[in-house]
Structure formats: structure tokens, C-alpha cells
Amino acid sequence: MIRFAQIAVFVAFLLVGTAAVAEETKAAKSTQPSAAETVARGRSLYAHHCSHCHGFNMVTSGTVAYDLRKFPHHDKARFVNSVTNGKGGMPPWKGTLSEEQLEQLWVYVLSGGKR
């Protein structure tokens, strides 16, 4: 009888623990933005910080600024380095943009400026 009680207690703890993990996973997923939300946040950051030189929706107005629609999609490290440290006439944004904001800008650049 004692062995049965021990097993019952173990199973109860197991079920409670599984339910708690499931709730934590569900909560974590609900706090992560969707891809569309990330693109929208990146678009907003781009409009505020980048559009002056790189153009509205990444369409340059004939300036010497790089056409971000042509940025290599496989080279995130180059993008982050250029934005963080500046490049050519582009100022560095280190200390102004967080890692999360850089990620949002990157996702927007990958969208090609499309909505």
C-alpha cells in the first residue's frame, strides 16, 4: 500500500510539472511577436532612422546610399556590422539601436521594403 501511495504521489508531481511546463511554453510563445509584427516594427525603425538616406520603403532617390533591397540576404553579420559601426558616409548606430531593434531592421530589410 505504501508503494502505491509513493507511485501516486510521483505521478501527481509529474502531471503538475508537465502542466507547468506547457503553460510556460504557451506564455513564451504568446509574448514573441509574429513575423508581420517584427517587419512592422522594423519598418517603423527604418522610417525614423534610415529613410532619410536610403529612401522611403528602401527606394533611394538617386543618392549614393546603398540600395538595401539588394542587400545579400545571407549576410546578416555584414548588415549588423555596417549599422552598428557605420560605413563610408553612414554614421554608426551603436548605442542608439538595441540588438532587438537591429534584428527588427534586418527582418524589414529581408522583406525588401514590402508590406
- Classify residue 86: in a domain, yes or no: yes
- Classify residue 93: in a domain, yes or no: yes
- Classify residue 12: in a domain, yes or no: no
pLDDT confidence tier of residue 60, bands split at 50, 70 and 90: confident
Considering the chain, what is the average pLDDT of its residues?
82
- Classify residue 29: in a domain, yes or no: no
pLDDT of residue 64: 80
Q: At residue 91, does pLDDT exceed 80?
A: yes
pLDDT of residue 84: 97
- Classify residue 13: in a domain, yes or no: no
Q: Which domain holds residue 42?
A: 35-111
- Classify residue 63: in a domain, yes or no: yes
> The CATH number of the domain where 39 resides is what?
1.10.760.10
- Classify residue 84: in a domain, yes or no: yes
Q: Measure the N-to-C terminal CA separation of the chain; round to a whole number of Å.
A: 65
pLDDT of residue 62: 76
H-helix segments, 1-115? 2-31, 35-49, 51-54, 76-85, 99-111
Q: At residue 14, does pLDDT exceed 90?
A: no
Q: What's the structural domain count of the chain?
A: 1
pLDDT of residue 1: 61
- Classify residue 26: in a domain, yes or no: no
Asked whether 83 and 27 are in contact (CB, 8 A), the reply is no
- Using CA atoms, how far apart are residues 97 and 15, in angstroms rounded to an integer? 43
